[in-house]
Structure 1
Amino acid sequence: MYRQVELDKEDKDYHRLLWKDPNSEAIETYRMTRVTYGTASSSFHSIRPLRVLAEETTNTKLRLSLTTDMYVDNLLTGCEDSEAAEKLQDAIITLLVSAGFDIRKWVSSDSKLVLRLAATFRETEDEKSIESEDYAIKTLGIRWNPNPDQFGFTVELDKGAPFTKRQILSEVSRLFDPLGWLSPTTIQHKSFVQLLWMDKLSWDQPLSDPILQQYLRLRAQLKDLEKISLQRKVLKPATKSVFQLHVFCDASTTAYAAVVFIRQETDNVIETKMLTAKTRVAPIKSVCVPRLELCAALLGAKLVEAVTNAISDERFPTPKVFA
C-alpha cells in the first residue's frame, strides 16, 4: 500500500539516502519517490488518498466503507444481503483501482462473493478451502471462520519453558482480546501478573510452589478458550426493531469492569448479545470499594461512548442507552 503512493516533488528531498557500491569509492545520492514504511508521516500519507477518494465519491455506502471500515490497509465491511454486497464489492474495486490500489485477499461469509473474483485476488486460491466449514483466517488478530461466520480463539502455550515472571508475562500477553470477550479469563491472568510484581520476583527467578500451583490451575483452563465461538452478526436486519444498549459496571477489591450488551426486539422476539467489555486490575495501593465502583462507572461511560461513536453513521439504527 505504501509504495503505491507517490511523494510530492518538494517532499522527495527529505527522503534522500546515500549509496556506495562495493566496487566503487564514489558515494551516490538517491531520493525516494514513493512513501516509505517507517517514517513518521508514512501512515498519514498512505491513508490520506483513501480519504480523498471517499470524499469525492457520491456513493454513500462506498464512502462509509472507506472512511469507517478501513484499518490502514485492511477493509472490514458488509451488507445485509449478497446482492448489495456484490455491488459494494464492485464499487470498492473500481474506485481503488482508479487510484492504483489493487485490493486483494478477499474473504466473505458468502463464498460466491470470493469465487467470482480472479484467484489472485482471493485470500486463498484453493476453492475447496473457501467453501469449507474449517476454513479460517485472522482478522486483525482474531480468528474468523467465514462459512459459519463465527469468531474463535487460538491459544499458544510454550512447552518445557521454565515458569518465571518473564515467561508468564509472555504467555498472558498472547491472549489477544481487543473487544473483551474473554474478560472473565483475562482479568484473572492480569491479577496474577500483579501478584508477581507484588511478590518482587526478578524476571527469571523461579516461582515459589504455592504461586506456581496457582498459575498452573489458571493455565490449564486456557485451552478451553479454543472451544468458544461467537457469531459475528449481532443484529438481525429488520425495519421495525427496537435497539437498546445496556451497560453494567461492577468492582471488587481485586478488579473492576464494565460490559455493554445490545438488545434487539423484533415482533415480540427479544435477543441479547454481548458487544464488548473492559477490565482493570485494582491498584496495588488499597482503595475502598465505593471508589473502585466509581472507577468502574467511568470505565463503563467511556466504553459505551466508544460503542455509540462506532455505530453513529446512517447504516445503524440509533439505540437507546441504559447505563
Structure 2
Amino acid sequence: MPNGTIKDIEEGYKYLGIMRSNINHVAEGPDLINNMLGILLRLRKEPIDIACDVEKMFHNFYVNKEIRDFLRFLWFGKDGAIKDYCMKVHLFGATSSPAVATYSLQKLADQHREETSAASEFIKRNFYVDDGITSVSTTAEAIELITEARNLCKKGNLSLHKFVSNKIEGLRELPDTERAVQDVDLYSDNLPAQRTLGIEWSVNKDVLRFTNSGIQQKPSTRRGILSTVSQLYDPLGFLAPYTLVGKKILQKVNKSGTDWDKPFAKDVQEPWKKWVQELDMLDTIKIPRCIKPTGFETVKRSELHHFCDGSIDGIGA
C-alpha cells in the first residue's frame, strides 16, 4: 500500500478531478485513420503480403511544452507522497493521440514521397493507426518495400517491427527482433497463425480463417443472443450467411418484447441452440487470402460486377 494519508488521497482526487476536466477539453481531432475495409481489400489483391507495425507509436510523438499541463496525472513517489507529473509524449487512451500520430506518420510519408514513392504510398494509404498491411506482386518488390519503409520511418525516428509475410525471402534479411515470429525456423511448415487487423491469418497456407475460441457462451436470453452474435468479428462479411441467421433470431426475440435477462419463447430456443452448436464449424472455414489463384498470369483488364438483393430479413451485396 502507498504511504499517502487519507487526506492526501482526498486532495489528490480533487486535483485529479481538475486534471480530468482539462483532459476532456483536449480535442479529438479529425478522423485521419484509413478505412479498414479498403486496407483489407488491398491486402487480398496480390500474391505476396506484408504486415508490420510502428513500435510504441504514440510515445514517439512529443507534446508541445506549453500544452503538457493538459496531460498531467498523479503518482505516488518513492516516499509515498502524492506527486503530479505531466506526459511529454502522447499516451495511449487520450482521444487526441490517434489523430496526432496518424497525421505525423502521413506527413512523414508526404515529405519523402519523391525519393521513396512506394514506401510513402504504403505508409500513407495502408496503415490503420500503427498497423501496416499490404500486398505486392513479387518477392523482389516485397524486399524493396520493406527496406524502403524501414528507412523512411527511421528518418522520423520511428521503428517498424513485427514484420510477417507469406514469403520468407522477404524476412530473412531482417533482424530476428523485428519479425513477428521470433526464434523459429522460417522454413518450417508450422509457423504460428497471425492476426491481421483482428482477422486470423494462417501464414503457411496463406488463408484467412475463423475460430470460436474467443467466443464466450452466454445464457439463452435476449441479452445473451446480442452478446454472442456481436462477438463474431467479420469486417469482410465472409460469415454473413451464418451471422444473418443469428441476427434474425435476435430480431424475432426483440419483436416479442421478451425481457433482456429472461429465457425467450420455446419456438426460438431450438433454432438458437442449433445456431450456437454450429459455432464449432467456424474452424472449417478458410478463405484464400489472395483473390488471384496460384500461378495467375499478369492481369490485362479488371472488371467489377455488383450484385445485390434485399428482403424483410436483410440486405445482401
Q: Distance in 1 between matches of 2:103 and 2:242?
A: 39
Contact 1:108-1:114 within 8 A present in 2 as well: yes
1:123-169 deviations in whole A, cap 9, x for unaligned? 1213237732563111111110122211111124545x532222222
Matched with 1:74 is 131
1:118 aligned partner, one-letter code: P
Asked if 1:34 corresponds to 2:89, the answer is yes
Matched with 2:271 is 214
Aligned-residue RMSD, C-alpha: 2.2
Contact 1:152-1:226 within 8 A present in 2 as well: yes
2:63 aligned partner, one-letter code: L
Instruction: Name the structure with the higher strand share.
Output: 1
Q: Distance in 1 between matches of 2:190 and 2:300?
A: 31
Which runs of structure 2 are paired with 1:1-323 in the superposition (5 Å)? 1-19=57-75, 21=77, 23=79, 28-57=83-112, 58=114, 59-128=116-185, 131-133=188-190, 135-156=192-213, 157-158=215-216, 162-235=219-292, 239=298, 241-258=300-317
User: What SS does structure 2 have at the residue aligned with 1:6?
Assistant: coil
Measure how far apart 1:181 and its partner are.
1.2
1:171 aligned partner, one-letter code: T
Q: Distance in 2 between matches of 1:225 and 1:40?
A: 35
1:60 aligned partner, one-letter code: S
Identify which range, 186-195 or 95-104, moves more after superposition.
95-104
Contact 2:168-2:186 within 8 A present in 1 as well: no
Cα gap change, 1:126/1:168 in structure 2, threshold over 3 Å: closer, same or farther?
farther
Structure 1: which 5+ runs fail to align?
Answer: 259-323
Q: Distance in 1 between matches of 2:174 and 2:78?
A: 46
TM-score (norm 1): 0.73
Q: Distance in 1 between matches of 2:103 and 2:151?
A: 18
Residue-pair matches, total: 256
Contact 1:111-1:131 within 8 A present in 2 as well: no
Q: Distance in 2 between matches of 1:2 and 1:78?
A: 26
2:310 aligned partner, one-letter code: A
Q: Distance in 1 between matches of 2:222 and 2:235?
A: 23
1:52 aligned partner, one-letter code: K
Measure how far apart 1:51 and its partner are.
0.7
Cα gap change, 1:17/1:217 in structure 2, threshold over 3 Å: closer, same or farther?
closer
Measure how far apart 1:249 and its partner are.
1.1
Q: Distance in 1 between matches of 2:187 and 2:179?
A: 9
Measure how far apart 1:235 and its partner are.
3.9
1:13 aligned partner, one-letter code: D
Structure 2: which 5+ runs fail to align?
Answer: 1-56
Contact 1:115-1:127 within 8 A present in 2 as well: no
Measure how far apart 1:23 and its partner are.
4.0
1:202-231 deviations in whole A, cap 9, x for unaligned? 222123322110111222222223211111
2:144 aligned partner, one-letter code: K
Q: Distance in 2 between matches of 1:154 and 1:190?
A: 19
1:32 aligned partner, one-letter code: M
Q: Distance in 2 between matches of 1:24 and 1:231?
A: 57
2:262 aligned partner, one-letter code: Q
Measure how far apart 1:243 and its partner are.
0.8
Q: Distance in 2 between matches of 1:23 and 1:178?
A: 50
Measure how far apart 1:238 and its partner are.
5.0
User: What SS does structure 2 have at the residue aligned with 1:127?
Assistant: coil
TM-score (norm 2): 0.74
1:106-125 deviations in whole A, cap 9, x for unaligned? 11010222232212111121
